[in-house]
Structures are given as structure tokens and as C-alpha cells.
Amino acid sequence: MTKQFPYIGNSEIEQKEILDYLGVKSAEDLFVDIPIEYRDSNLSDVPSSMSEMELVDHLNLLSEKNINLNPSKSFIGAGAYHHYIPSTVLSLSQRGEFLTSYTPYQAEVSQGTLQVTYELQSLISELYGMDVANAGMYEGGSSLAEAALMACRVKNIYKVACLSSISPRYKNVLQSYLIPQSIEIVFMDANNLDIKENEYACLIVQYPNFYGSLEDMEYLQDISHKSNALFVVSADPLAAVMYKAPGDYGADIVVGEGQRLGIPISYGGPYIGLFACKSEYLRQMPGRIVGKTIDKKGDPAFVLTLQTREQHIRREKATSNICTSEALMGLMMTIYVATLGKSGLKQVASSCFHNAHYAADQISKIDGFDLINSKPFFNEFVITCPISPKAINKKLIELGIIGGLDVSDQFNNGILFCFTEIHSKDSIDSLVESLKQVNI
Amino acid sequence: MSQNEIRYSKEHEWVKSTEEGLVFVGVTQFAQEQMGDVVFVEMDDVGTSCDQFTKVGEIESVKAVSDLYTPIGGEIVETNQELINNPELVNNDPLNGGWILKIKVADIQEINNLMTEEEYKSYIQQL
Amino acid sequence: MSEYNKMPLLMDLSRKDKFGVSLSEIDVPLSDLPESSLLREDIQLPELSQLDVVRYFTNLSQMNYAIDTQFYPLGSCTMKYNPKINDQLASLKGFSSIHPLIEESLVQGSLELMFNLQSYLSNISGMTATSLSTMAGAQGELAGVLMIKAFHEKQTSSSKRNIMLIPDSAHGTNPASASMAGFLVKSIPSDQYGNMDIDILKENANENLAGIMLTLPSTLGLFDNQIVEICKIVHEAGGLVYGDGANMNAWMGQTKLGDLGFDVIHINLHKTFSTPHGGGGPGAGPVCVNDTLLNYLPGPIVQRNNSLYEFIEMPNTIGHLGTFHGNFGVLVRAYCYIRALGNEGIPEVSKNAVMNANYIMNKLKHAYDIGFENRSICMHEVVFTARKQKQNGVKGLDIAKRLLDYGYHSPTMYFPLIVDEALMVEPTESESKNTLDKFIDAMLQIAIECENNTELLHEAPHNTPVQRLDEALAARQPNLKWSEK
């Protein structure tokens, strides 16, 4: 008697019925096309099966090997953010009808997913001030790479300019995607831009930049367009609630990371890449797009549209190879924004701003700690410290605090701190007190 | 090439003479049936020079994208702006209202590389 | 069906000053706001009460088909049951609330999980090492072909090896990924089983061949018993073999692609390893390599150094394709699935997947033609063709839409491209004989309708929340976001 499993639909009796019907002695007979000398599959590195109870104990043990700190004691951002996620997000997105459904290729039975995606496209367009948005990509870094590839296709120029103040991790991803297609990337400083006409497909800017500051968007847009390059912006979607939208600065393509709008931080993923552009470039935009139409009866309905650009039809000439993306995360983001609403989202953005500016003021009052950013910023800034960030963060951990990101490769003893609405005055003051202690 | 005479390419494009030295170019009835509902037509810019049988645009239908090849070489002097808002003209009136490009012919002898109406009819029969 | 059938959107339901959750007040002294030219003037976002939000999304969910509600006979998608325990465990605070940039010594639990998952996947596929950083099958494919490219560039410092051979039966992501990696794609005709034609392969096995991309079993669900020879031919010509692991549900625990000669494969955790599809993601597409490509893996990889788990980069890595280190939340679910099944359960999965597919094939082969000849056994999926029905004016599309009326999601349509009016069915091991019998009955009923009542099929579906959609209108006049009317 072979061990049975609850994930297998047929009982042993039913399995026998099927084998009898097929006229074979055992299932082995169905694998005859595999050459016999390769039929042995030794799974020695895979342990024995577990009961559900054992599985729970095992995973609990594993999770307990991780640090267990309240996020309000954590001050690191740099591309992933701790925010409060309202109860509606997890409760609604975990519904089996959303969670276990397939990509909505059969529109008649996927109106739930399709309408949600249309909502997502609407809110991304609104947040970024852009004409159109797609159904989402994997995450912020690869979305930026896809934006650069799209700019090259649109302009038929295979060189991109990029400010050096973007995330170092985004730089890595850009290079991994672009260099194999023989596309050159030139990194430059905002105050030392050298862009000749028709030399670059685009200028890439992060807004706010990786170190928290707002770039001079008017100036950068002007330079890009004067040299016939697309203005590509990687924009924080929450900062866009408070600060002027990148679309209003004339951005041609805007991408970003949607994690901070309702998606658990989950040790790095799954997240969702946001992607929006001007309507004239719509047909060059990668990813799925949902459109509104009518059905045979004349009722309004949603459907995947402009699919001919995608891999399953265009194949090697597709705008991208992307197939499965992050639909569930897009749902969570939509529920988050719907729940918080206009006032709630504004308040979260406002909290981030005021908490960060208060913290910056308090920290820079400590001897030896200096703020490098000129104001305004949004919710992150860099402080240069009297001793190494490594030493500071080590001491902070002992005090039950996770400090900011070590950016001493760019700024001497620099730490990139982050503040959101989850931090109260008390938790910020407690950080400040702890920083005072580390230098003693 | 005489007025009203239409010639056809293997890729199902047609060419028809208009004023002196100019021709209209479009796709055939057979082509539009194969493609299904046309949703967008992309055309190379006015002023572009093109050799015979080279790509001058793309026709996007719901299910596919087809490359458009010019059945005759020359310079594009006009593109059918009606197709921007009404791409379905390619389906509904492929030989007249659904014309795509107007070309100033470089070498009229190139029509000898194309099929006559009769030749095209038998060509599509055996496809 | 409630009023939500009339499709009001969030902005249509929005009413001034409503909100769905109470937030804490700002308790720090306020700082000066920036100058107004930098600030956003206004933003149009919905304003709803919490109940509005709950009703909106709950009602929308009820317009979706899902594995939790019905059978998805979708070939090549492996729509198996997504165990609930996996979702619960992935949500443990100790996993879900950890920031990705925290120092490794503080995240030993997650890193241990990743390290072990790497080993399990390497073991199951017969490969040396695995990178978990790629976030979907297509991204895993891209990593695979980028590694092949990097390998050749390092070997010869020339770009002569620039051709990737791909059979025309391949999934569209294969040529798309090869293109993104800067390769010239040469699509070659497959045989009627979706397998690579060995003669054509030999013709192309020269100094320009970078590699081939194969799916095994093929996209027709058939195992190529010439696979070992194919790998040999490619290797002898100096090329490498990429394996699309989409059909892993047929071979895991039965054979190993690494043993057969593949140099690199990708795995779809959201197919073979039960992680939920989510309506189009998230997925995860780990990429596994043998010794040849080990040093080129995309980073980061988890390594165990004595008893400490840490991230490392391989010496010739192709770099990072994502900001962090992969879709961790998806990885946890796949880990749980593998631990629950264990080494005893994995072969049972493929065994039952193959049994169920053959059951369907034999029950329906008289009503629907099979998409290939002279083979009586399929693997985990079976390709039917509606060519018999086409003679009566009924297309594969019509049959697929009619099946929706019977309460089943359509099978995969028009894929692979090499079979006319293809309808591909993959039952998976999750389905019981009872479910399969009911599905078979529906298909047989439809086959009869194809003869007597073709109008019913042309106009299908009739019983779904919406009927056939005007896709031409959607593409001609793109309406892609809410706007004020």
C-alpha cells in the first residue's frame, strides 16, 4: 500500500479503476517513453513527507529564527517600506475566487480580475498623472529596465542616460537587462549633464532619488526633450500623492514600485512593478492591458486588449517576454487605495513627510550627525555619522532597533533613514536617544 | 499600367494607378478576411523611400500583427489618415476607402513582378 | 446577480469625505511644507466607507472562476489545488514582516528555507545549483538564455554563437526571451509530436549555434525519446541545451532533466509547486543549472558557510534581474508543498497527473480527434483538435466558450500553434475520477451539439456573467481607465 496524500484527487481504489480502464498493470506502463536507464529518480535531498501539524511546527520554528521586531522599531527603507495594511486588504485578497483564479484570458468568466485590473490601471494613471498604465510588471527595478528597452524601441537609439542618484540595485538590474542587447548606459550627475541631441533614447531619473531628495524635474525634462530623448521617471507612488505628479512634469514613461501601497514587505517579494506612459506610446508598452468594451448583449464588460504586442502572439518580436506578472499584488494595492481613500492616502503621505522632517531635525541636532539633503525631501534622508554605519547599526540592534541603510560608499559614514506613518513621536524620540548613546 | 488596372503581390497587397506616376496601395479582400477585425494600422512616414516588397507598415488585428510590404518601390507621398479613427475601413472597403499608402513610383517596370487579377485569383485558390 | 453586474466603478461609487479605515493622528510637531509649485494641487481618488469596499470586491470576486470553485482543464498551466496551509504559513509574521535589506545574521530562518528550497529543486531536476531570484517562468527563461550567452562570450570572446534554435511548438515566451537576450531566433518546424526534428537540428549544429530551447514533454504533452541524442548533438556542436520546465508535473520524481543532458532549466512554482495563480501572478521561476553554467547564475544565491546562511554572488554572474532576491512569499509556499509531500509524495503527483490525462484522452478520443497520430500514451496533458467539428462550421473557440456554460473553464485554445484548432487539456493530479467523469460527459454532450445545434456553440457562452466580448472595439478605441463622463 503506497502512502496517500490529501492533495491527490483519487483514492487508491479510484486509481486502480483508472489503471484498469486504461488496461495497464501499473502507472509505470504509462512512462514507457522515458528511456529505462533514466527512469530512476533519486530524491535523496528531499526529506520524508510531513503531516500538516508537523509542517506548522517546522515553519513556526523557522520563522522564529528570524528577528522579531515591531516594524515601528525599524528605520530602513531604500525601495521597500513598512506601512500599516488595513484589514480589508488581506481579508478580501485572500478570497479563493481571486487567489486561485487563472490569468483572465477567458474574459466571460474573469470579470472580477479584469475589473480590478482596470481599476488598478486607473489609479496608477491618476497617481502618476499619465495617460495610460498597464496591469503591472514584476517589481520596480525590472520595470525600469523594461522602460529603458521601450525608450530604445521608440527612438530607435540604443544608448540611455541615467542619473547616478538612482538606486544602486536598480543600476544592477538595468545593466543586466540592457547590456546583452548591446545597449550602452551612461551614468551622470544631475549638475553635470552632457546630453547631445539624438544621442540618447532617454534620460532616467528617480523621483525622489535613492537618497531621498527631489531632483529638479523641470530642468531634467527640458534637457531630455531638447535632445530628443524620452524623459523616463522611476517615481515613488506615495510621494506622488503629495508632490507634483511626474506626468505633470512631462514624463514620457513612468515606472515604480507599488509595494508600499498595501503589499506586505515579505522579505523582498512578491511586489508589483508599476508602468505608465503617454498614449502615443501605448502600443510599445509591455505587459498586459485591460480595456473596457461591451459584450454581445451590449452590457459593459472588461477584456484583455492589445494582446498582439505580447509574447503569446508576437513571439520573438514581442514588446517583452513577460507572461505571469503580479495580479494579486495589484488587487491588494487597489483594495488598499480604495480603503484609505483620498483622505487616508493624503494622511499617510503627510505622516511620512512630517515624521521624516521631525526626525531629520532631531537627529541633525546630535553632535557629529549631519543631514546631507537640502529640503524638501519626502520620507527618506541621509545622515553622515561620527562612526561607521556598521558600528552604529550593531549598537542599535542591541537596543532593539533596526537602523537605516549603510550608504557609506556614497557618503562618508552615511546612513539612509526612512520614516513612515507607523512611527510615532515616541519611537522616533527613542531612536534619537539611542543614536545619542552610540557615540559615547 | 492602365487606369483601374490592379496588380497583386504574393503577400496580398494591391497596387492601383491614380494620377501621373502615383499609385494607391492597400491589402486585398483575402488578406482582410484572414486578419480578422483590423484595429490599428501603422504606416511609415510621408517622405520615406521604399524598395519593392520591403516593409512599410504593420496592420494590427485583434489576434495578430501582420507586416505590410509595398508591392512597388518609390516614395510615400500620402498615408490614409482616415484609418487612424476608422481602421475598420480595411475590412469593409479594402480596395477603395481602405487604401493605405499613396506612392510616387520609382520604376513602373516593377509591376511586371506582380500578378494580374486572374493570376491572383488562381493564386489564392490554391492556398 | 446583484447590481454590481452593471459595473459601477470605485469612482462611480465614491462620495465626498467617506473613508474606509481610521488612521492614527500625526503626533510630531509639523514642519514647514515645501513651496506650492512643488506640490500636487489635487488628486482624484475614490472615497468609500469600509462596507462599500468590502461589498465591491466581494461581489467582483463572485464573477471569477477559480480552482477553489471549479475544474480548470488548462493545458500547460497545471492548475492544481493550492493548499490553504501554504498561504497561512507564508503569512507568519516572522516571514511576512521582514525587510529585505536586513543584515543576514538576523534572518537565518528565511535564508535556511531558501537554501533548502534551492537544494530540493536542484535534486528533483538533477541539476547542480538553483537561483530563486527570478520572479516568473519568463524571467527564469531570460536568465537561462543570458547565462548561455555569457558562457559563450567567455569561452570565445566572439559573438559568433548568436543563434538560438527553437521549435515552432514552443511557448511564446521562449523566442521572446531569446530575443531579449540579444539572440537571433531561428524557429524550426517541429515534428507532429512537437519535438525537434533531428535532421534539421543536425543541419544547424555548427559554430553559430549558441543553443536550443526545448520543452519536455513537448507542448503536445509527449515525451521525446530522442532527447538524449538531441542533447549530445547540441553539445558536440558546442551549444547548450535549455529546458522549459512548464511541463514538470509530468516528470518530477520519474526522471531528471539534468540526467538527460539539459544544461539549464527553469521551474514554474505557480504551476508544478502549487503556489496560487492570483489571477495572473505572483509566480516564481527559479532557474537551475549544471556544472557548466554554475558560475553564471543570477544573484543572489544563498550559501551555507559553516552554520551561517548568507547571500553570495557567483564569480561570473549575469547579474540581478530584480531589485531584491526573488518572490519570497511564493518561495515559502513552494517549500511547504515540497515538505508536505516529501520524497514519497512527489512521484505520486506525476503518476496521477499522467494517469488522469490518459483517462481523459481515451474517454474522448472517439468524439474529438487527437492532435497527433500513432501514439497511444500521452503524459500529463492531451491535445485534441476540433478539425472534425470544423467541417460542420464549429471552431475550437466555440467549443471552448460552450464549455463555460457547463461550468468548466475552457481548455487551452490554439496552442501549440502547430495543431489546427487545438484544445489542450491538463487535468492535474488534484482532480478526482468523479470530476473527470462529469467533465467528460460535458465534452461528449458538446460533441453532440456540434452536430445538431451549431448555433448554440457559435453564440456561446450563454450562462456566464457576460457574453462574448467585442474585442475589436476594445482595441480600436482603447478605454483603459476611469474617466469622468
Mutation to test the B interface, candidates C476, C477, C479, C480, most B Cβ within 10 Å: C476
Mutation to test the A interface, candidates C480, C482, C483, C484, most A Cβ within 10 Å: C480
* Residue whose C-alpha cell is 486578419: B35
Nearest CA in chain A to C30: A354
Closest partner residue to A313 (CB to CB) among B40, B42, B63 is B63
Q: State the smallest CA–CA distance between residue B36 and chain C in angstroms.
A: 9
Q: Which residues of B touch C472 (CB under 8 A)?
A: 36-37, 39, 62, 88
Q: State the smallest CA–CA distance between residue B7 and chain C in angstroms.
A: 30
Q: Indicate the pLDDT class of residue C188, thresholds 50, 70 and 90.
A: confident
Amino acid (one-letter) located at A125: S
User: Whole-model pTM?
Assistant: 0.95
pLDDT at residue A440 greater than cutoff 70: no
- Tell me the per-residue pLDDT of A253-277, one tens digit each, with 9 for 90 and over: 999 999 999 999 999 999 999 999 9
Q: What is the ipTM of this complex?
A: 0.97
Q: Which residues of A touch B63 (CB under 8 A)?
A: 308, 313
Q: Which residues of C touch B39 (CB under 8 A)?
A: 472, 475-476
Q: Which residues of B touch A314 (CB under 8 A)?
A: 65
CA–CA dist A313, A318 (Å, integer): 8
Q: State the smallest CA–CA distance between residue C96 and chain A in angstroms.
A: 4
Cα of A135 vs its chain's centroid, Å: 13
CB atoms B63 and A283 under 8 Å: no
CB A80 within 8 A of CB C96: no
Q: Which residues of B touch A309 (CB under 8 A)?
A: 65
- Tell me the per-residue pLDDT of C120-171, one tens digit each, with 9 for 90 and over: 999 999 999 999 999 999 999 999 999 999 999 998 866 789 999 999 888 8
Between residues 372 and 411 of chain C, which touch chain A (CB distance below 8 Å)? 377, 379, 400-401, 404, 409-410
A216-233: average pLDDT: 97
Grid cell in block for residue A261: 501601497
Closest partner residue to C136 (CB to CB) among A45, A248, A325 is A325
User: Which subunits count as partners of chain C given 3+ CB pairs below 8 Å?
Assistant: A, B
pLDDT at residue C190 greater than cutoff 90: no
Residue that wins the pLDDT comparison between A312 and A427 = A427
Establish whether the linkage from the previous residue to A47 is cis, with ω within 30° of 0. Answer: no
CA–CA dist A396, A359 (Å, integer): 16
CB A316 within 8 A of CB C269: no
Q: What pLDDT, on a 0 to 100 scale, did the predictor assign at position A318?
A: 79
Angle at B24 between CA B100 and CA B41, to 5 degrees: 5
- Tell me the per-residue pLDDT of A134-160, one tens digit each, with 9 for 90 and over: 999 999 999 999 999 999 999 999 999
Q: Quick one: which H or E segment has residue A299?
A: none
Sign of the CA dihedral with C181 first, then C182, C184, and C185 last: positive
Closest partner residue to C345 (CB to CB) among A5, A27, A346 is A5
CB C465 within 8 A of CB C5: yes
Sign of the CA dihedral with C445 first, then C446, C448, and C452 last: positive
B37 touches chain C (CB under 8 A): yes
Mutation to test the B interface, candidates A153, A305, A306, A308, most B Cβ within 10 Å: A308
Q: Highest-confidence range of A322-336, A340-354, C417-431, by mean pLDDT?
A: A340-354
Q: Indicate the pLDDT class of residue C2, thresholds 50, 70 and 90.
A: very low
H helices of B10-127, where? 29-35, 82-85, 89-92, 117-125
Which residues are C304's β-sheet partners?
C309
Q: State the smallest CA–CA distance between residue B75 and chain A in angstroms.
A: 21
Between residues 104 and 123 of chain B, which touch chain C (CB distance below 8 Å)? none
Q: What pLDDT, on a 0 to 100 scale, did the predictor assign at position A2?
A: 80
Between the alpha carbon of residue C420 and those of residues A291, C287, C357, C388, the distances in Å are: 29, 32, 20, 11
What is the mean pLDDT, run by run of 10 residues, along chain B of 127 residues? 84 91 94 92 94 94 89 95 94 95 93 93 91
A356-365: average pLDDT: 97
A314 touches chain B (CB under 8 A): yes
pLDDT at residue A286 greater than cutoff 50: yes
Nearest CA in chain C to A75: C99
Q: Which residues of A touch B40 (CB under 8 A)?
A: 283
Strand A370-371 to A380-384 pairing: antiparallel
Could you please report the per-residue DSSP string of B44-60?
A: PPTT-EE-TT-EEEEEE
Between the alpha carbon of residue A406 and those of residues A286, A323, A389, C382, C417, the distances in Å are: 34, 36, 6, 54, 52
Q: Which residues of C touch A242 (CB under 8 A)?
A: 39-40
C470-484: average pLDDT: 91
C311-317: average pLDDT: 98
Q: Indicate the pLDDT class of residue C5, thresholds 50, 70 and 90.
A: very low
Q: What pLDDT, on a 0 to 100 scale, did the predictor assign at position A40?
A: 78
Q: Is C277 exposed, middle or buried (0-12, 13-18, 19+ CB in 10 A)?
A: buried
CA–CA dist B50, C4 (Å, integer): 53
Establish whether the linkage from the previous residue to A389 is cis, with ω within 30° of 0. Answer: no
CB A404 within 8 A of CB A371: no
Q: What pLDDT, on a 0 to 100 scale, did the predictor assign at position A128?
A: 98
CA–CA dist C99, C95 (Å, integer): 9
Q: What pLDDT, on a 0 to 100 scale, did the predictor assign at position A224?
A: 97
Q: State the smallest CA–CA distance between residue A317 and chain B in angstroms.
A: 10
Mutation to test the C interface, candidates B35, B58, B62, most C Cβ within 10 Å: B62
CB A236 within 8 A of CB A208: yes
Of C247, C243, C220, residue with least CA distance to C77: C247
Q: Across all residues in chain A, what is the average pLDDT? A: 95
Q: Is B60 exposed, middle or buried (0-12, 13-18, 19+ CB in 10 A)?
A: buried
- Tell me the per-residue pLDDT of C197-211, one tens digit each, with 9 for 90 and over: 899 999 999 999 999
CB C129 within 8 A of CB C297: yes
Between the alpha carbon of residue C354 and those of residues A40, C250, C348, C377, C462, the distances in Å are: 17, 6, 10, 9, 33
C35-59: average pLDDT: 96
Between residues 69 and 88 of chain B, which touch chain C (CB distance below 8 Å)? 87-88
B63 touches chain A (CB under 8 A): yes
Angle at C56 between CA C55 and CA C58, to 5 degrees: 60
Helix (H, G, I), strand (E, B) or coil at A289: coil
CB C187 within 8 A of CB C204: no
Q: Is C5 exposed, middle or buried (0-12, 13-18, 19+ CB in 10 A)?
A: middle
CA–CA dist C81, C83 (Å, integer): 6
B127 touches chain C (CB under 8 A): no
Q: Across all residues in chain C, what is the average pLDDT? A: 94
Q: SS3 sequence, chain C?
A: CCHHHHCCCHHHHCCCCCCCCCCCCCCCCCCCCCCHHHECCCCCCCCCCHHHHHHHHHHHHCCECCCCCCCCCCCCCCCCCCCHHHHHHHCCHHHHCCCCCCCHHHEHHHHHHHHHHHHHHHHHHCCCEEECCCCCHHHHHHHHHHHHHHHHHHHHCCCCCCEEEEECCCCCHHHHHHHHCCCEEEEECECCCCCECHHHHHHHCCCCEEEEEEECCCCCCCCCCCHHHHHHHHHHCCCEEEEEHHHHHHCCCCCCHHHHCCCEEECCCCCCCCCCCCCCCCCCCCEEECHHHHHHCCCCEEEEECCEEEEECCCCCCCCCCCCCCCHHHHHHHHHHHHHHHHHHHHHHHHHHHHHHHHHHHHHCCCCEECCCCCCCCCCCEEEECHHHHCCCCCHHHHHHHHHHCCCCCCEECCCCCCCCEEEECCCCCCCHHHHHHHHHHHHHHHHHHHHCHHHHHCCCCCCCCCCECHHHHHHCCCCCCCCC
pLDDT at residue A313 greater than cutoff 80: no
Q: What pLDDT, on a 0 to 100 scale, did the predictor assign at position C4?
A: 41
Which residues are A204's β-sheet partners?
A162, A232
Per-residue burial over C395-434, b if 16 or more Cβ lie within 10 Å, else e, is: bbbbbbbbbbbbbbbbbbbbbbbbbebbbbbbbbbbbbbe
CA–CA dist C375, C356 (Å, integer): 17
C382-407: average pLDDT: 94
Q: Indicate the pLDDT class of residue C460, thresholds 50, 70 and 90.
A: very high
B60 touches chain C (CB under 8 A): yes
